[in-house]
Chain A
């Protein structure tokens, strides 16, 4: 009797743990390229078969360039995995301004990318759900204004159908209100802002100093079952340095504290 009860308790605990994670099975982990980054994530990498929210800060919330570049690096690394061979990425847009040559230089080849332009927010989320649950799709990148709790749950269920990974890029519509971060259903929430890069001293710059690889101020705002953190990272091995190395998408430049995060805002206000 006692043992039976203990067994039942153990089963309930596992259930609760699963519910707390709120997710189905994780289909592997994607390394971000640096152990110090990976260690902040539960399981030592970005969980596949779930969806992640990537937002911008400041002007990036509208242009969505740095978050998109970060997402493209992750997607490129994901598609390069041997178990994703032959699968495609689906990029869902609201505003049709994605430029494939730029993605190619970040390591995401155009021939493995299907572009979709949705007419409204609900349609974009619907397409994302449909694509995530389809065979032959490895990763879905969706640019939407916000994901509410219901939509987030639906995305998660779609991810579980076939193990597709979702990267939701929060992008405020033109002149629209503030993009709300309500994505409590996401496995992780990232905030990406551009950061001043190191000049490329020996580089290809024709006038003065060339530009080195792009740098981002990366903030892990929320991570289910993990801890948050902030880092200064650099896109490692982009086309700037010849062959695009997609296995290690990011290179850690520095770990940041809260004070470092606040600094650039003050700087731009002064400028």
Chain B
């Protein structure tokens, strides 16, 4: 069966869905290629990535469509028609044939793009004010009214049922009373109609959330030199920050995308601990990471989008540069941002106490500038009880002790070997019995061998170690000792 046909084949009378033998009979010189739906899906994904240069909000619509939310970005091209023309030209340059339509709703754009008119060139439906959720009949655009009902993204069965009653055009369908329509043809038909007319909102699965904070630069000639990329980065940041400044906002997340000639986007993410719009500072955080960027055969466009925009008092950045705070979290913010941008967010932290007896679970890592947690719960030691000895270094996983000698199984060890060195114990303190958090798991998972008896011991040199014996004493099982931490 044919799944797709070229324009020449279509002219010869072939159509998708036609049996292979029929097609061969019609045109014996037919050239066939195996259909590859997976490859098609991958190509669509790649195209969606490529389209990010037009708008950050791109939703692939398998098998063969893409939705772009161009609200708030079309002005960068000078209008919707100009943007559509640019998209069409770029697609054509890459040897792709596409049909483009711009409309107020995804449904209407879908319908228009598949209308015969879209073959000739991009269709732009004049914008009209729609009341979302309004039930009174909106005047239907003539371009839409004339389209077949199939353009409403209906199931073939539903289209057939409508056709049997002589309903072939969207205009006819829209003229019917809503109640009987839904009863007769199902809610799906009405939903699709409403979505096309903008009466019902449609949620598209955008690759990235749409944001109004988007700016881009197109280049006449592709560039790849690092200093050019740095300048691009600065320029695009300057543009976006000027807009943020004008609206009195700062953003906490930025994403810089370089669009390569071969279509593969390379992006950098940046998270800030405080909202900012200082272009120098933001660009400087991106710059060191540009070195690792692979420009391929060249970069032809760059875009920057900001998210998590918050109101930021105007002029604050100017004031901050004059009166730089020397203390408090505000002063630390630039350093934290630099470190986070360089090392990644996981490598910069501030520790917070967590209510757990299990040592490795008693510390939570928070963002370095996260607002202070409530007051320390008990004791001056910031939430950890001061009377419990805790080591300075905690090994990532306890290391087993060898050749342990203890007087009796429930006494601290007198001697053991750890990392090839014999430690003879002078003094010991303990035990502190620590059980697993049994309430975290089912009751059947609780075993006595999860109990640990911790001792703080000092060896012949004065080195202090935190060792524990795992499990309760059992005659059938040898006692096992572990080293978990080191005191200074």
Contact = CB atoms under 8 A, between A and B. Distances in A.
A75 to B, nearest CB: 12
B461 interface: yes
A63 B349 contact: no
Contacts of A59: 419, 421, 461, 463
B343 A210 contact: no
A101 B348 contact: no
A169 B152 CA distance: 70
Contact of A106 (B339, B392, B460): B392
Nearest to B335: A134
Interface in B97-152: none
A135 B391 contact: no
A113 B348 CA distance: 11
Contact of A65 (B331, B387, B431, B488): B488
Interface stretch (A22-30, A40-48, A81-89): A81-89
A126 to B, nearest CB: 8
Contacts of B390: 99, 101-102, 104-105
B393 A97 contact: yes
A101 B384 contact: yes
Interface in B360-396: 362-363, 365, 368, 372-373, 380-384, 386-396
Interface residues of B, number: 69
A69 B487 contact: yes
Interface stretch (B25-33, B230-238, B322-330, B474-482): B322-330
Contacts of B486: 63, 65
B252 interface: no
A214 B488 contact: yes
Contacts of A86: 327-328, 331
Interface residues of A, number: 75
Contacts of A69: 392, 487-488
A98 B388 CA distance: 17
B485 A243 contact: no
A105 B381 contact: yes
Interface in A113-142: 113-119, 123, 127, 130-131, 134-137
Contacts of A240: 389
A271 interface: yes
A211 interface: yes
Contacts, number: 222
| Binding site secondary structure of chain A | mixed
A96 interface: yes
A268 B461 contact: yes
Contact of A115 (B328, B349, B419): B349
Give the one of B342, B387, B412, B463 with max A CB within 10 A. Answer: B463
Contact of A87 (B327, B381, B392, B431): B327
B455 to A, nearest CB: 8
B382 A130 contact: no
Nearest to A208: B428
Give the one of B335, B352, B380, B419 with max A CB within 10 A. Answer: B335
A99 B394 contact: yes
A258 B411 CA distance: 38
A210 B455 CA distance: 11
A207 B488 CA distance: 22
A110 interface: yes
B381 A244 contact: yes
Contacts of A203: 429
A197 B462 contact: yes
Contact of B460 (A60, A137, A215, A268): A268
A63 B325 contact: no
B24 interface: no
Contacts of A51: none
A2 interface: no
A105 B335 contact: no
A111 B365 CA distance: 11
A189 to B, nearest CB: 18
Contacts of A196: 426, 458, 460-462
Contact of B386 (A96, A103, A105, A211): A105
B463 A60 contact: yes
Interface in A229-270: 239-240, 242-244, 264, 267-268
Contacts of B463: 59-60, 65-66, 194
B71 interface: no
Contact of A207 (B368, B380, B429): B429
B35 interface: no
B353 interface: yes
B424 A204 contact: no
Contacts of A1: none
Given A194-B462, A271-B424, A136 B332 contact: yes
B384 A211 contact: no
Give the one of B330, B363, B428, B488 with max A CB within 10 A. Answer: B488
Contact of B352 (A72, A110, A215, A244): A110
Contacts of A111: 350, 352, 372-373, 382
Contact of B332 (A64, A68, A134, A204): A134
Nearest to B410: A207
A109 interface: yes
Contacts of A210: 427, 429
B464 interface: yes
A225 interface: no
A171 to B, nearest CB: 10
B347 A117 contact: yes
B268 to A, nearest CB: 18
B339 A102 contact: no
Contact of B488 (A72, A97, A244): A72
B338 interface: yes
A136 B461 contact: no
A85 B424 CA distance: 43
18 contacts: A59-B419, A68-B488, A86-B331, A100-B363, A103-B392, A104-B381, A117-B347, A130-B335, A135-B324, A136-B325, A196-B458, A197-B427, A209-B427, A209-B429, A211-B456, A214-B488, A243-B380, A244-B381
Ordered nearest first, which 10 A-B pairs have the shortest CB separation?
Answer: A69-B488, A136-B331, A86-B327, A194-B462, A101-B390, A99-B394, A102-B392, A134-B335, A65-B486, A104-B381
Interface of B: 324-332, 334-336, 338-339, 342-343, 347-353, 359, 362-363, 365, 368, 372-373, 380-384, 386-396, 411-412, 419, 421-422, 424, 426-431, 456, 458, 460-464, 485-488
